[in-house]
Amino acid sequence: EAGVTQSPTHLIKTRGQQVTLRCSPISGHTSVYWYQQALGLGLQFLLWYDEGEERNRGNFPPRFSGRQFPNYSSELNVNALELEDSALYLCASSPWTSGDQETQYFGPGTRLLVL
């Protein structure tokens, strides 16, 4: 069974630019989560999508946005990039909407560097 996949693996952008990161969940999983892991910091929850809807959002500005497609894949968009957006962006999926007991399966991440 294929795991969570993310693309691209690495990305270099300059300040002010926009970036789109992509995630494909494990087949059968309807929930997709996005996390930011800045160097030396813990993972910070960004967004949760389920059945095409944004269900929950972390403490990030509106320039962080995303969407989930009918096939449950997801995009994370970051506008007006800032230097502190440099981080590893991780996508995770889980098989159902209530994540209480469900494990989130993580992808390998996209490493974004903003110059």
Partner 1 sequence: KNQVEQSPQSLIILEGKNCTLQCNYTVSPFSNLRWYKQDTGRGPVSLTIMTFSENTKSNGRYTATLDADTKQSSLHITASQLSDSASYICVVSQYYNTDKLIFGTGTRLQVFP
Smaller CB separation from partner 1, 57 or 67: 57
Tokens encoding 92: 């995770």
Binding site for partner 1 (CB under 8 A): 4, 31, 33, 35, 40-45, 48, 55-56, 58, 90, 92, 98-101, 103-109
Task: Give, in order, the Cα–Cα distances in Å from 96 to each of 17, 32, 33, 41.
Answer: 34, 10, 12, 28
- Report the residue number, 15 or 96, with the smaller CB distance to partner 1: 96
* Residue closer to partner 1, measured from CB, 16 or 61: 61
Intra-chain end-to-end CA distance of the chain, in Å: 37
DSSP 103: P
Q: Closest separation between CB of residue 82 and partner 1, Å?
A: 22
Smallest gap, in angstroms, from Cβ of residue 14 to partner 1?
24
Q: Evaluate the CA torsion angle 77, 55, 72, 45 in order and state its sign.
A: positive
